[in-house]
Amino acid sequence: MIKSRQKTRAEVTGLYCYWAVVELGYPLADLARLIGMTGHGVGYAVRMGERIAKENNYSLIG
């Protein structure tokens, strides 16, 4: 199946948010302001990024 550009972008954003918030400890609200998303949007992206990272065995650190 071929992914759309928007889906791929959403997945990359999810991984970025997950790694920034969970693995690096960046505050969710600060990240939301930095990338121009709502707090709820970043929270959703974090959950999506966590799922993607676990399914694909992706790791930012170690």
- Counting every residue, how long is the chain? 62
Query: pLDDT tier at 60 (50, 70, 90 boundaries)?
Result: confident
Position of tokens 């400890």? 25
d(CA 22, CA 20): 6
Q: Helix, strand, or coil here: 47?
A: helix
Residue spans per domain, the chain: 5-56
pLDDT tens profile 3-52: 788 899 999 999 999 999 999 999 999 999 999 999 999 999 999 999 99
